[in-house]
């Protein structure tokens, strides 16, 4: 007996077997059970999501000898012949090969005749968008007022190319890409039924490569079974698809997080031996960084997508959230610029080297990156008094031109106070000497100092800012406080329902006050008043910024 490929063997024969199109199946079931049947149906969606399959099941429902219903018997001659593709009253047309108007007219000549065997004569037109304009015109009248014994089932991957006159005459169903978790579950069911040994990682890999197409997933599964000699393994799937294993990307990111440039380059060398698509490598790194960020903040979402949460969480615990965000931005920019680089391997290497070179400060006060380290010779810039101007301010009169502002320079960190004064310093003063950056700085600025005693620092934090707190941020702040007090420090966080008077809260009040003063200054400015009077000018709301 000849082998039947999985995509055909596992093709759904009833609505209950359709995967990932519940919204369409529900509508079709209700219409059939209530006998509310339209004369023309249009199924749209990407390849391999079930357009033609749904049309054939509908044809079976319409012509089953047991009667019109959403559950055809599957045993009568009509059901069997439709399943085998030899039912005389199911006319399947490939519009891609019959685009001429003469072909369409020849097809429509037989519409008026009653069905030979079934209850309805069903015309299934695949890739209907390929018909010519004249063919569409020939089809319109019949499509609008067909005989009662005729049903049109149209399928297309590109509904934008259909004339609106055709769209308006059809009941349209948009089929979605099948989610990866639904594809993975279906592949596991197929392999279990086929008694084929498999690894869970391989199934996830195939589901991702299918890109929402269940038919593509089954075709890839057929290839994987042959490639693995009857066993579906994760590492072999990567070789078959020419893609890089997720484990290799995880090792690469771990080496970046550890600051091990030699290990990073060794892993790139090993990667180059597989002649990969570097665009897909960067896409894999972006996806992995996305999963790491979710593992830190919303781990439940990874379980729904079938990702190994334990494996991801182990790496996520070793990386700071701000590092992941920076790496993600670097990888996205590198992928965007990859077509501009003569050697795409160089593009990947430069992206990884950027991650190594521009990592955020660890928060311990001793590891500022070269990109952000202040110059020893820098002096504090003089601060001019608050002044405001709209972002698009009209030109002032020449005699009232403003003096140029002095260029800003990086401020040198203030010297730490003597040890005797450190315990009595305010939290705002302490923050100035901790050298914090990124998320750690933001978290600390929303806290208030409650007590310092016996090596324990107690901070208060409003519950509405609790999302800023995580183990990485607390650890960095604890380390920085230990260096500040010259002794090991245990950090405790007290959550409160009130809003403590934190440095961030005070800074926000000061900004709001400066904004009010800036708006008042613009409102009373004689030049602005004159422009309003002479030209009917108006200040654009939201354009005033204090400087």
d(CA 265, CA 349): 8
Residue 340 CA to residue 346 CA, distance in Å, equals 11
Cβ-Cβ contacts under 8 Å for 168 (sequence gap 6 or more): none
pLDDT of residue 404: 41
Instruction: Decide: 203 and 175 in contact? Cβ < 8 Å.
Output: no
**Geometric angle at alpha carbon 398, from 394 and 404, rounded to 5°:** 80
Residues 95, 99, 102: CA angle, nearest 5 degrees: 120
Regions of the chain short of the pLDDT cut 70: 1, 99, 242-243, 299-311, 359-424
Alpha-carbon distance values, 341 to 142, 334, 346, 461 (Å)? 55, 10, 8, 48
Q: In sequence order, what are the beta bridge partners of 154?
A: 42, 125
Q: Which of 214, 146, 207 is nearest to 181 (CA)?
A: 207
Q: Which two tokens stand for residue 502?
A: 């934190």
Q: Please state, for a pLDDT cut of 90, what percent of the chain lies above it.
A: 14
**Two structure tokens written together for 87:** 């039912």
Give CA 202 to chain center in angstroms: 22
DSSP string of 227-280, one letter each residue: HTTTEE-HHHHHHHHT---HHHHHHHHHHHHHT-HHHHHHHHHHHHTT---HHH
160: exposed, middle or buried (C-beta count within 10 Å: 0-12, 13-18, 19+)? exposed
Q: How far apart are CA 227 and CA 239, in angstroms?
A: 9
Find the DSSP H helices in 379-502: 419-422, 427-432, 438-445, 471-485
Residue 377 pLDDT: 37
Which of 385, 505, 359, 350 shows the shortest CA–CA distance to 437?
359
Residue 521 region by backbone torsions, left for phi larger than 0, else alpha for psi between -120 and 50, else beta: alpha
């Amino acid at each position: 007996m000849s082998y039947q490929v999985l995509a055909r063997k596992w093709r759904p024969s009833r609505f209950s077997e359709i995967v990932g199109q519940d919204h369409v199946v529900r509508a079709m079931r209700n219409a059939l059970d209530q006998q509310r049947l339209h004369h023309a149906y249009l199924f749209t969606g990407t390849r391999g999501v079930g357009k033609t399959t749904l049309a054939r099941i509908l044809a079976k429902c319409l012509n089953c000898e047991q009667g019109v219903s959403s559950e055809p018997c599957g045993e009568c001659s009509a059901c069997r012949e439709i399943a085998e593709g030899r039912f005389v009253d199911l006319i399947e047309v490939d519009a891609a090969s019959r685009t001429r108007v003469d072909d369409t007219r020849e097809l429509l000549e037989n519409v008026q005749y009653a069905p030979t065997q079934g209850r309805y004569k069903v015309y299934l037109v695949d890739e209907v968008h390929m018909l010519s304009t004249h063919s569409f015109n020939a089809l319109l009248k019949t499509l609008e007022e067909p005989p009662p014994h005729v049903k049109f089932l149209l399928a297309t991957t590109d509904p934008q190319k259909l004339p609106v006159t055709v769209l308006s005459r059809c009941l349209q169903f948009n089929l979605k890409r099948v989610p990866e978790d639904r594809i993975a579950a279906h592949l596991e069911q197929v392999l279990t039924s086929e008694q084929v040994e498999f690894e869970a990682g391989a199934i996830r890999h195939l589901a991702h490569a299918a890109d929402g197409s269940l038919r593509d997933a089954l075709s890839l599964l057929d290839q994987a079974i042959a490639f693995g000699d009857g066993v579906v393994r994760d590492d072999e799937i990567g070789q078959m698809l020419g893609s890089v294993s997720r484990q290799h990307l995880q090792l690469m990111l771990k080496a970046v997080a550890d600051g091990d440039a030699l290990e990073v380059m060794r892993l790139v060398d090993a990667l180059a031996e597989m002649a990969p698509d570097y665009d897909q490598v960067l896409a894999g790194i972006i996806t992995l960084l996305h999963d790491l960020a979710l593992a830190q903040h919303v781990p439940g979402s990874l379980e729904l997508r079938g990702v190994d949460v334990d494996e991801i969480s182990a790496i996520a615990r070793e990386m700071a959230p701000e590092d992941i965000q920076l790496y993600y931005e670097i990888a996205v920019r590198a992928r965007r610029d990859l077509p501009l680089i003569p050697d795409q391997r160089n593009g990947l290497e430069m992206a990884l080297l950027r991650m190594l070179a521009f990592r955020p400060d660890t928060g311990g006060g001793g590891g500022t990156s070269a990109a952000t380290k202040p110059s020893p010779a820098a002096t504090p810039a003089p601060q001019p008094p608050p002044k405001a101007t709209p972002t698009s301010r009209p030109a002032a009169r020449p005699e009232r031109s403003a003096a140029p502002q002095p260029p800003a320079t990086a401020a040198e960190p203030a010297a730490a106070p003597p040890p005797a004064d450190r315990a009595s310093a305010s939290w705002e003063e302490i923050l100035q000497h901790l050298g914090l950056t990124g998320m750690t700085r933001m978290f600390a600025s929303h806290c208030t100092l409650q007590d310092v005693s016996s090596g324990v620092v107690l901070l208060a934090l409003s519950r509405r800012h609790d999302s800023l707190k995580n183990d990485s941020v607390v650890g960095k702040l604890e380390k920085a406080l230990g260096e500040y007090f010259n002794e090991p420090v245990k950090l405790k966080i007290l959550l409160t329902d009130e809003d403590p008077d934190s440095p961030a809260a005070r800074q926000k009040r000061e900004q709001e006050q400066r904004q009010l003063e800036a708006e008042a200054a613009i409102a009373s400015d004689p030049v602005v008043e004159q422009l309003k009077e002479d030209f009917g000018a108006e200040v654009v709301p939201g354009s005033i910024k204090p400087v």
